[in-house]
Homo-oligomer: A and B are copies of this chain.
Amino acid sequence: MAKENYTQYAILGLLTTGYHTGYAMKQMIDGSLNHFWKISYGQIYPTLKRLVEQGFAEVKLSSQEGKPDKKEYFITPTGEETLRNWLQQPIQELPIEKNDLLLKLFFSRHQDTYNTIDLLDTYHSKLSERYNTYAGIKEMILSDLCDQGDTPFWIITLDYGLCTTEAAMDWCVKTKETLLNLKEE
């Protein structure tokens, strides 16, 4: 099956959730989507251009007072259909994350145990930070009384982040013990 460029669908999707400029999309992604997706201006603007060329979106130039002009993009019916079609396709393959901590652990036989444990500790604290960030965003969304139709779905993706992060943290703790036992032997 042909490879898919998911980035365009991400942008198409954002067009349906109230983000109409490249700048606004970038803000949104950096703030709320970045636990499972990120994107740079170098992708956003060319993609928006291409979406218009393909008839999936339309541009409207709008000049604002006190702010620079901006290009507002809107999804077309064809674009909506394309998005819906993609949403229905089952995922083909699980993502594999390139994890450099695991890569290091894999080759840590000749390393000093305490050094390896340091790696684990740093990793754990970063996971903990991440966990708190996600929990914070979740709180924020839930306390926002304006109950958008999108919010339950946003919460779901956050929960994914929370539960896998938690599992990874538990693993850190367990692994630390394993390494210490290994050393004692």
Chain A residues within CB distance 8 Å of chain B? 6, 9-10, 13, 16-17, 33-38, 83-84, 86-88, 90-91, 93-111, 115, 118-119, 122-123, 126-127, 130, 149-150, 152-154, 156-157, 159-160, 163-164, 166-168, 170-171, 174-175, 178-179, 182
Contacts A106-B154, A156-B178, A164-B168: A111 and B98 contacting too (C-beta < 8 A)?
Answer: no
B-side contacts of A34, CB under 8 Å: 96
Look across to chain B and name the residue whose beta carbon is closest to the beta carbon of A38.
Answer: B96
**Is the beta-carbon distance between B110 and A84 smaller than 8 angstroms?**
yes
Interface centre among A13, A95, A156, A163 (most CB of B within 10 A): A156
**Is the beta-carbon distance between A160 and B149 smaller than 8 angstroms?**
no
Cα-based distance from A95 to B164 in the complex (angstroms): 13
B-side contacts of A9, CB under 8 Å: 103
Contacts A13-B103, A109-B149: A91 and B33 contacting too (C-beta < 8 A)?
Answer: no
B-side contacts of A105, CB under 8 Å: 153, 156-157
> Smallest Cβ distance from A151 to chain B, in angstroms?
9
Cα-based distance from A110 to B170 in the complex (angstroms): 36
Contacts A13-B106, A35-B96, A37-B99: A159 and B130 contacting too (C-beta < 8 A)?
Answer: no
**Is the beta-carbon distance between B91 and A152 smaller than 8 angstroms?**
no
B-side contacts of A119, CB under 8 Å: 90-91
26 residue pairs from A and B, CB less than 8 Å apart: A6-B98, A6-B103, A16-B107, A16-B110, A17-B107, A36-B103, A37-B103, A38-B96, A84-B110, A84-B111, A87-B104, A87-B107, A87-B111, A88-B111, A90-B118, A95-B98, A96-B97, A105-B156, A107-B153, A108-B153, A159-B171, A159-B174, A160-B175, A163-B168, A164-B168, A164-B171
